[in-house]
Amino acid sequence: MLTAGLMAGCGGNQQGGSSSGGNGGGGGGGDVIKIGANLELSGGVASYGQSIAEGLDLALEEINKEGINGKKLELVKVDNKSEAAEATNGAIKLISQDKVVAIIGSATSTNTLAQVQVAQDNKVPLITPTGTNPTITNKDGKVNEFVFRTCFIDPFQGTVAAKFALNDLKVKNAAVLIDSSSDYSKGLAASFKEAFTQGGGKIVAEEAYVAKDTDFRATLTRIKSANPEFLFLPGYYEEVGLIVKQARELGLNVPIMGGDGWDSPKLVEIAGKDALNNTYITNHYSSGDPDPKIQEFVKAFKAKYNKAPDAFNALGYDTAYFLADAIKRAGSADPVKIKDALAQTKDLQLVSGTLTLNENHDPVKSAAILEYKDGQQQFKTKVNP
């Protein structure tokens, strides 16, 4: 989902090409360890990159209070202008000129994929905070040794939704309605079906639509006649809003659930507050989560930026800690040793959940479940994998 450029919000907060200003002593030398951030600080999805940068800055302030193995982390930012070619150039510059020991970035899958080869060739670890495309870390069944991510991948949300439906909502029959023009939707649905049937549930109806459809009443009538207790609807907010509205009109009042593709204020406008009651979404994190670690982060973030942190802020923040933890365990600033330490990350407590990497370098961690109540997202629970 995070790969799709939802907003074209291009804020004015453009940081220059680079803010490098340390001693020229190379990545590992001296008292600082240089890490790079290759982010969308301007261009089409600038709001994603800027949010990640805010999270990174806050985390580094905190980490540098104590330092890592007696050294401080120094962040070198480059702006990839939301373009893949610039992202490749940025990665080359960070490695050859700034001699960073690891690169954080980028926000979107496309811009991250543009750096994968550079990172692999130069043997420098690359961590994307929010690139959800599975091929970033694993291409054609082969793991990209130097590439990691902090967010969970798309299909994971389907698994989480199935667990939530079975264990928390205690439903046995579910219907699935898929946007057949979206890989995101199909990926979530496939993993939902697998986890739901493995957990003893039954899929009673499986229907599809294509993006931009507006009338779903016939399909929903068919779903209703199958008497499901739960509807899994992994789509984007434009169609989801209409589907939820029309489902409620037809008297299909079962819980409806989707993924982070629902997460837009437009959803509430399209579906209406009442229709959205009894619907749930999975997301990376919720600022309403009462977990003390999250609340501490929300407080620190509000103190620095005077706003509530969103999922991008949280994942940026977490990425800095993910990397810092690996550098600490590696005991050295050697990129290859950091890569090995990153791959061995286990049970790391982060704001967006407890992170353990699987063999594909994809995090296995909890997802937040949010419930819509009168048009507001409320934190419901956290589901562990």
Partner 1 sequence: MELIQQLVNGISLGSIYALIALGYTMVYGIVRLINFAHGDVFMVGSFVGFYAVTMLGVGFFPALLLAMAACAVLGMIIERIAYKPLRNATRIAVLITAIGVSLLIEYVTIYLRGAQPEAYPSTLLPDRNLELLGVVISSQSLFILGTSLVLMVLLQFIVHRTKIGKAMRAVSHDAEAARLMGINVDNTISATFAIGSALAGAAGVIFGIYYTKIEPLMGILPGLKAFVAAVLGGIGIIPGAMVGGLLLGVIESLVSGLGYSLWRDGVAFIILILILIFRPAGLFGKNVREKV
Which span sits near partner 1 by CB under 8 A: 139-147, 221-229, 295-303, 353-361?
Answer: 221-229
Q: Shortest approach of partner 1 to residue 211 CB, angstroms?
A: 11
Task: Please give the distance of CA 122 from its chain centroid, rounded to a whole number.
Answer: 26
Separation in Å, CA 153 to CA 60, 104, 181, 205, 370? 25, 17, 19, 26, 18
| 5 is a contact residue toward partner 1 (CB under 8 A) | no
Q: How far apart are CA 344 and CA 356, in angstroms?
A: 8
Q: Which is nearer to partner 1, 120 or 221 (CB)?
A: 221
Asked if 211 is part of the footprint of partner 1 (rule: CB under 8 A), the reply reads no
Structure-token match 């946007």, residue found: 179
Question: What is the spatial distance between Cα 139 and Cα 273, in angstroms, rounded to a whole number?
Answer: 42
Q: Tell me whether residue 85 or residue 218 sits nearer to partner 1 (CB atom).
A: 218
Cβ atoms of 301 and 313 closer than 8 Å: yes
| Number of amino acids touching partner 1 (CB under 8 A) | 27
- Considering only 269, 293, 299, 378, the residue that binds partner 1 (CB under 8 A) is 269
Task: Report the residue from 65, 214, 306, 359 that binds partner 1 according to the rule CB under 8 A.
Answer: 214
| 45 lies in the binding site for partner 1 (CB under 8 A) | no
Residue of the chain from 210, 253, 302, 349 that contacts partner 1 (CB under 8 A): 210
Q: Is residue 374 close enough to count as binding partner 1 by CB under 8 A?
A: no
Instruction: Report the DSSP pairing between strands 367-373 and 279-283.
Output: antiparallel
Which residues between 171 and 190 bind partner 1 (CB under 8 A)?
180
Binding flags for partner 1, 225-244, as an x/- string (CB under 8 A):
x------------x--xx--
Chain centroid, CA 254 distance in Å: 28
Q: CB neighbours of 12 closer than 8 A, spacing ≥ 6?
A: none
Q: Is 8 in the site for partner 1 (CB under 8 A)?
A: yes
Rg (CA), the chain: 21
Residue 43 interacts with partner 1 (CB under 8 A): yes or no: no
What span, in angstroms and rounded, lies between the C-alpha atoms of 307 and 333? 34
Phi, psi angle pair for 322, to nearest 5°: -60, -45
Q: Using CB under 8 A as the criterion, which residues of the chain lie in contact with partner 1 when the complex forms?
A: 8, 180, 207-210, 212, 214-215, 217-219, 221-222, 225, 238, 241-242, 245, 249-251, 266, 269-272
